[in-house]
A and B are shown apart, each in its own frame.
Chain A
Amino acid sequence: MQSKLSGKQCPIDHDHESRAYASSWPDQYREMRSECPIAWSKNHGGYWVASRYRDIVAIAQASDVFRSNKTYDAENDVVKGGVLIPPGTSVRGLPIETDRPEWDSYRSFINRKFAPKASEVRRERVRHFTTEMIDRVIETGKLDFVHDLTGPVPAMATMELMGLPLEEWREHADAMHEIVFLPKESEEFGKALERFNWVYQRCAEEFRRYRELPEEDNLLSYFAHGQIDGRPVTEEEALGYALNILAGGVDTTTSLTTHTLVYLYENPEERERLIAEPELLPTAREELVRYFSPMHGIARNVVEDFDIGDVKMEAGDRVFLPWSSGNRDPEIFDEPEKIDLARFPNRHIAFGAGMHRCIGSFMARVMFEEMLTQILERMPDYKVDVSAAERYPSVGTINGWINMPATFTPGKKRLV
């Protein structure tokens, strides 16, 4: 065993943003978990990577040492801290990029809106959006799953939750999808960023409009009328929430559903099984979110020296926590590389761990179940054109698909 030395032990070439990572991550993490469980990468200014389940959970739970807060120095245009490596935009996501005690105020202000009951109430609407989107393609016998279904439904459900006008769903769905997968250095990224800024601007405009109206049952209106610690919510805060909810909630659910559709296409006996035994859905859902870990990983900022495993982390260091690696740790999961739709218990951390754990998991579960159930009902023989489907070039934050053409036996519309 190594002794605890100060300095950055276990150097590795880890870069979750790289193209190589997109295909090699299961192997890279397997090797790290056994050889070098906490390792130092020199990329992106240097950061630790913790690959074992137990260390990832321990770090996520020690939120007083491993912080999420982000600050922005406007004069020099420098973003410090936050949960992304490399650092993201200047907008601070709420509540994701805050620490205690601020986090308590920000999170408790919205908890009730995402609780199991509030999410269950939205199921009917999610079902309606799914029916509507499938109706648009059901008579043609072909669709692009991402463009026509798994992108739009979470976008529409989230827009309704936010209080954004549903007529604009196509623009919003495209903007939220593109911003995630286009490489930051590409020319298209600039345009995608503009479109994403337009989403922001729409949120700001609606927030201001809701201020002038009586309170309605949506988040922007709730922000416009609500109080945090006895004072009104600022526009900056409303946009911080919007960033976290739109960026954290839409494409993650899209990715989970899309991956599932490929898996069920490539494993027809599993598709048959899920159709024959719909009661498998709850354990299947948890297993698929474990295996695909659509939010691949997230970062923290070390604020005091901390010994963990064989390494000594120092104040000022950054750490990357790959939930995806924890979710394939053989110390916790039997045959972690295998999908077992009936796996239970399943203590996966695809929704994170510790206090920042996903607030939207109940919404995500409702959206996933409604889309998958209706696809299996209405296009049970769908075939994916895998050769034409494209993966995200970089999967380190969100692991998803750009598009996914498919065909099926045409059917009838449900809505008139």
Chain B
Amino acid sequence: MRVRIKAERCVGHAMCYLAAPEIFVLSDEDGRASVTVDVVPEEFQEAVRQAARSCPEEAVDIY
């Protein structure tokens, strides 16, 4: 499983971070999210799926 943030959609709701703080970080500049990994380790995959379901902007892209 790979995950990325669609930068043009993310507005910083921080729901992804609440779901998986190990995988997402929020910027000190503007509060928007980015990912800390490219390939999601097995143990965080469910949390990342939750993150995708939590984001009102549909900015968390699992591929």
Binding site for B on A (CB under 8 A): 57, 61, 108, 111-112, 114-118, 282-283, 286, 344-349, 351, 353-355, 357, 359, 361-362
Contact = CB atoms under 8 A, between A and B. Distances in A.
B46 to A, nearest CB: 11
A229 to B, nearest CB: 17
A115 B56 contact: no
Interface string B1-43: 0000000000111110011000000111111000000000000
The 5 A-B residue pairs with the shortest CB-CB distance, nearest first, are: A345-B54, A111-B30, A345-B53, A117-B28, A357-B11
B30 A108 contact: yes
B28 A349 contact: no
Contacts of A115: 26-31
Q: Which of B18, B19, B50 gathers the greatest number of chain A CB atoms within 10 Å? A: B18
Nearest to B52: A345
Given A353-B56, A361-B14, A344 B28 contact: no
Contacts of A57: 56-57
Nearest to A119: B31
A61 B6 CA distance: 14
Contacts of B50: 344-345
A361 B12 CA distance: 9
B28 A116 contact: yes
Contact of A114 (B15, B18, B31): B31
Contacts of A344: 18-19, 50, 54
Nearest to A347: B56
B11 A112 contact: no
Contacts of B29: 111-112, 115
B28 A345 contact: no
A351 B19 CA distance: 18
Given A344-B19, A345-B50, A361-B14, A353 B57 contact: yes
Contacts of B55: 347
Contacts of B53: 345, 347
A354 B11 contact: yes
A286 B18 contact: yes
B13 A357 contact: yes
Nearest to A365: B14
Nearest to A108: B30
